[in-house]
Structure 1
Amino acid sequence: MEEKEKLRQEGLRLLKEMPQTDKLQIEHRLAEHLFASFVWKDAKSIGLTMALPHEWDTTKLIQQAWLEKKRICVPLTIENRAMQFYHIESYNQLTNGAFSIKEPIADRCEPASKDTIDLIIVPGLLFDMSGYRIGYGGGYYDRYLTDYQNKTLSLAGRQQIKQSLPVGPLDLPVDHLLTDDGFLF
């Protein structure tokens, strides 16, 4: 567990210290690769987290999805470190939630069941070549994804990729890992 915490701090520092011009270039390339992919094109409903300032911006993804008439689902954290995704049609349906992350206002949104979300974009700080990731340590996504049957994808700058990471019994790999150089798998 100590090794994961060190890696978590390394990944967080890497993102927070990245020059803004580099971050914007990487985000642009990630979006280009994603929007051209079959994973994106096949998805009618996409689940993602509203990004914190040091993370890859997800508002561009949301705007493109809305332009393409795709449904966007954003998670709300609930008790026992769990999440429930909700369909949003406007940023007005969001409020500041746990960990300063924008979350849906439940009574202004429709809940999204797992089987109706075609693609979940899973956040993380570091990733390995098998699709495992180091997140913030809460286990929210790993819990949610245990019985999720559709596609998962993570976005990463190439500097976030490690050959391997320590993997715990509850950790789940993503199906696709997209970097600014393109899909690794």
Structure 2
Amino acid sequence: MNEVKKEIRGQLKSVLQNISEPDYRTLSRKIAKNLFKLGEWEKAKVVGVTVSNVPEVDTREIIKKAWEQGKEVAVPKCFPKEKSIQFRKITSLEQLETVFFGLQEPILNETTEAPREEIDLLIVPGLGYTRTGYRIGFGGGYYDRFLPYYNGPTLSLAFNEQVLPALPIEKHDIPVGKLITPERVFVCNA
């Protein structure tokens, strides 16, 4: 199973590297527009979201839009020893630091914790997805450990190239509620 997932991750990373810079920006904007139309977005007061790295769908514009609309933004801080994440509220991108793998995470002493029950909408990252909401992440398992304890709405953002007919699914995998692509929103009822 791990070898299969490793192979899928490798294929997806190389496909995503081939998206041109202009297409990346345009498609990220279309995905964001589809997100902003959702009731879950409108209702959310606190949005949990990672700060993306290319070639993931750009979340920086989403974070800025949340602030413009008076929402709070909570980004994950990874604790590799415990293999856990804690969401922390940021009010500026200046409150981020670059950690392992080039990830941008909140600076602990400049941010406050956002308990999971305060997060009204969680945007779950990943590399590949099925239309039923199952995902393959980057291999750390952080969200696999977080999602069983999170009860709010979940969704993921994906370029069309990331939507696959099937993925290896394990019994602990939890699908997201919606998958947003440039053209449409999949309501996932896995």
TM superposition score normalised by structure 2 = 0.94
Residue number in structure 1 paired with 2:56? 55
Number of corresponding residues: 185
Secondary structure at the residue paired with 1:184? strand
Matching residue's letter, 1:31: A
After TM superposition, the structure 1 stretch with the greater mean CA deviation from structure 2, 67-76 or 78-87, is 78-87
Matching residue's letter, 1:76: K
Misfit runs of 4+, over 4 Å: none
After TM superposition, the structure 1 stretch with the greater mean CA deviation from structure 2, 130-139 or 63-72, is 130-139
User: Does the 8 Å contact 1:130/1:164 carry over to 2?
Assistant: no
User: Does the 8 Å contact 2:16/2:161 carry over to 1?
Assistant: no
Q: C-alpha separation between the residues in 1 aligned to 2:168 and 2:18?
A: 24
Describe the superposition over 1:132-180 as per-residue Cα deviations: whole angstroms up to 9, x where unpaired.
Answer: 1111111011111111000111001112111211011222111111111
Residue number in structure 2 paired with 1:170? 172
Matching residue's letter, 2:141: G
Offset at residue 98 of structure 1 (A): 2.6
Residue number in structure 1 paired with 2:10? 9
Return the match for 1:119 from 90, 111, 121: 121
Over the aligned positions, Cα root-mean-square deviation in angstroms equals 1.0
Q: C-alpha separation between the residues in 1 aligned to 2:54 and 2:127?
A: 13
1:131 aligns with 2:133: yes
Residue number in structure 2 paired with 1:144? 146
Matching residue's letter, 2:31: L
Residue number in structure 1 paired with 2:20? 19
Q: C-alpha separation between the residues in 1 aligned to 2:93 and 2:154?
A: 23
Offset at residue 94 of structure 1 (A): 0.9
Residue number in structure 1 paired with 2:43? 42
Matching residue's letter, 2:33: E
Residue number in structure 1 paired with 2:159? 157
Q: C-alpha separation between the residues in 2 aligned to 1:31 and 1:53?
A: 15
**Structure 1 runs not aligned, ≥5 long:** none
Q: C-alpha separation between the residues in 2 aligned to 1:122 and 1:60?
A: 16
Q: C-alpha separation between the residues in 1 aligned to 2:160 and 2:114?
A: 32
**Structure 2 runs not aligned, ≥5 long:** none
Q: C-alpha separation between the residues in 1 aligned to 2:8 and 2:120?
A: 30
Q: C-alpha separation between the residues in 1 aligned to 2:98 and 2:29?
A: 26
1:76 aligns with 2:77: yes
